[in-house]
Amino acid sequence: MRQAKEIRSLVREATEIVAQFNLSDFIWFLRNVDLQGVKKRAMNIHSRFDALLEKVMKDRQENRTKNKEKVSGEDGGDNGIFDFLNILLDRTNDERSKFRLTRENIKALLFDFLTAGTDTSNIVVEWALSELLNHRTTLKKAREEIDSVVGKNRLVKESDMPNLPYLQAIFKETLRLHPPIPIFERESTQACKIGGYDIPAKTILFVNNWSI
């Protein structure tokens, strides 16, 4: 519980600092000058996050050794313990795996998983609920579908999703109307022409998601 609170706090700090205005981002000759201390604070957050993730991994490894946990990543493991961290830890010791993960690889994956996957998911859920409250007919249809497939005595499970096409459509439409990431970047693999502009190979392209 304490670690969960620490992670939530660090994710909040990381989200705030990413969204903060930084003069050095806009004036090229100030790029290496940390005028507002943003870089220093970002490094501090990263250092604290790294230490916390290291502790989480160490605790899990000790628990695995103590309980002789083993997760194959294919059949769910011998004792039914099957989560993201266990699968990653197994990849560090699997001689048959083509891709051996290091501790740094795992911490980087967990960092991305926790930071990029937390705020974005919250945003999508909030927008979906807001749209449903403003479209009562859609909300009524969604409730009827859930009641007919899931019933009223339990929560929706991931295995129910293939049988809930209307609910899936609601989330897809929410993502179309309110994409949580306004801008994403891609690198061109080869030279091409887009909208009359010549794009050389290996060019970093920024796409305005909200304008699509």
Q: pLDDT digits over 121-165, tens only?
A: 888 999 999 999 999 999 999 999 999 999 999 999 989 999 999
Tell which wins on pLDDT, 97 or 187.
Answer: 187
26 and 108 within one domain: yes
Same domain, 111 and 126: no
Sign of CA dihedral 97, 99, 105, 108: negative
The verdict on 15 and 65 lying in the same domain is yes
Whether residue 34 is predicted with pLDDT greater than 80 in this model: the reply is yes
Residues making up the chain, counted from first to last: 212
Q: How far apart are the first and last CA of the chain?
A: 41
Per-residue pLDDT tens digits for 79-118: 445 678 888 888 887 677 777 788 899 999 998 888 888 8
Total count of domains within the chain: 3
Same domain, 73 and 135: no
Distance CA 57, CA 164 (A): 36
What confidence score (pLDDT) does residue 88 get? 86
Which has the higher per-residue pLDDT, 96 or 186? 186
Q: Which amino acid is at 73?
A: G
In this structure, are 26 and 112 located in the same domain? yes
11 with 106, same domain? yes
Of 72, 95, 116, the residue that ends a domain is 116
Judge if 129 and 48 occupy the same domain: no
Residues of the chain above pLDDT 70, percent: 92
> What residue type is assigned to position 134 of the chain?
N
Strongest mean pLDDT among 104-118, 162-176, 190-204: 162-176
Owning domain of residue 165 = 119-177
Residue 81: per-residue pLDDT:
56
